[in-house]
Structure 1
Amino acid sequence: MKLVIGDITKAEADVIVNAANGIGPMGGGVALAIKKAGGKVIEDEAIRVCSQLDPRPGDVYVTTAGGLKAKYIFHAVTMKRPAEPSSVEIVRKCLQSLLEKAREMKVKSMVLPALATGVGGVPKKDVARVYKEVLGDVKDIDITVMDVSGEFIKYLEEELKKAP
């Protein structure tokens, strides 16, 4: 797992992960940044996919990546409706769903933000612990965690230094 301080919308990978709601609009945080950088086409597709699949918190759905340097956007549903609180359990299920979907689609590289730590309200320290538990031993997918402020990266570095 690589840790990078930077803008996820500038990342190059098979997949860029979006912290999503289960109805599709991309109105804040990482989702808004992805929509602005990649184009409204991503949001339009997300709304269409959500209306068909009705994803629940913990699920992952896929759209194209618009103008971003990725093949796909994997939308990790951290909340059903925009700005609802999330939880550590939902983040864990999202990470497991992301790995399943990546393996199913033969994805080699994936860039993730700090899921549910914005409007979802889950403490970054708790999310960092779950990232280590779920993603720490993944060898078959090149995983990069990106955070624009660097705060989440600091917590994740602390977690990764601890014994398993």
Structure 2
Amino acid sequence: MKLDPGRIKIFEGDIVKMEVDAIVNAANNSLLGGGGVDGAIHRAAGPELLEECKSLNGCPTGEARITSGYLLPAKYIIHTVGPVWKGGKEGEDELLASCYRKSLELVREHSIKTIAFPAISTGAYGFPSERAAGIAVSQIKEFLRKNELPETAFLVCYNKDSCKNIKNALDESL
């Protein structure tokens, strides 16, 4: 299936305010909250999110879990655990790619039409932003070519550099 380029969009801003069916949380293995995007999502969703996350018993790196969105505009939160960057010699690229694939598999299972991804692993986990953007774009495009859902995937960037890297990755993949 040919991919409609309009199905992938860049959004610069706050992922917790996005009015989409699901947002992706760049979580840690415990799923119990942390810093960066993870902490912001937990704060915005409210204490019920923590209670549901406790019942999931964590999540391995490269995997994904889904919860309700609680107080967020999004109906769902897909929690995925990206790899900590260790120089690229310990399977980090494949683990990051798996985060996107596993998140998108949950989209398909739950008939989610719109999803927003942060730049997974590029904050405290230190994954190089340009490299991560290329992986994100390639995994999302590959999934969208084969699947009708999600109708739209947003790549959310938190600063100009992140947006530039995502835009470059999208342009290079055309």
Structure 1 length-normalised TM: 0.88
Instruction: Give 5+ residue unaligned stretches, structure 1.
Output: none
User: Residue 96 of structure 1: CA displacement?
Assistant: 0.6
CA contact (8 A) 2:157 2:163 kept: yes
Q: Which has the higher strand share?
A: 1
Corresponding residue number in structure 2 for 1:114: 119
Do the aligned partners of 2:26 and 2:38 also contact (CA within 8 Å) in 1? yes
Match of 1:143 in 2: 153
Aligned to 1:37: 44
After TM superposition, the runs of 4+ consecutive aligned structure 1 residues lying more than 4 A away are none
Deviates more, 1:150-159 or 1:123-132: 150-159
Letter in 1 for 2:127: V
The Cα RMSD (Å) is 1.7
Contact 2:26 2:120 in 1 (8 A): yes
Q: Secondary structure at the match of 1:63?
A: strand
Counterpart for residue 91 of structure 1: 96
Contact 1:5 1:149 survives alignment (8 Å): yes
Displacement of 1:163 in angstroms is: 4.8
Give the Cα–Cα distance (whole angstroms) in 1 for the partners of residues 168 and 38 of structure 2.
Answer: 27
2:63 to 59, 82, 86: 59
Q: Which residue does the alignment assign to 1:134?
A: 139
Match of 2:168 in 1: 158
Which range moves more in the overlay, 136-145 or 10-19?
136-145
**1:30-60 deviations in Å (ceiling 9; x for gaps):** 01111121212212211221x2xx4211111
Alpha-carbon offset, residue 105 of structure 1: 1.1
Residue aligning to 2:28 = 21
Deviations 1:43-94 (A, max 9, x none): 2211221x2xx42111110111111001110001225xxxx55722211001
Matching residue of 1:69: 73
Give the total of aligned pairs. 157
Percent sequence identity over aligned pairs:
30
- Residue 123 (1) aligns with residue 133 (2): no
Answer whether contact 1:85 1:119 (CA < 8 A) is retained.
Answer: no
Q: Distance in 1 between matches of 2:31 and 2:62?
A: 14
Q: In structure 2, what is the Cα distance between the partners aligned to 1:31 and 1:111? A: 14
Query: When the two structures are superposed, what TM-score results if normalisation uses the length of structure 2?
Result: 0.83
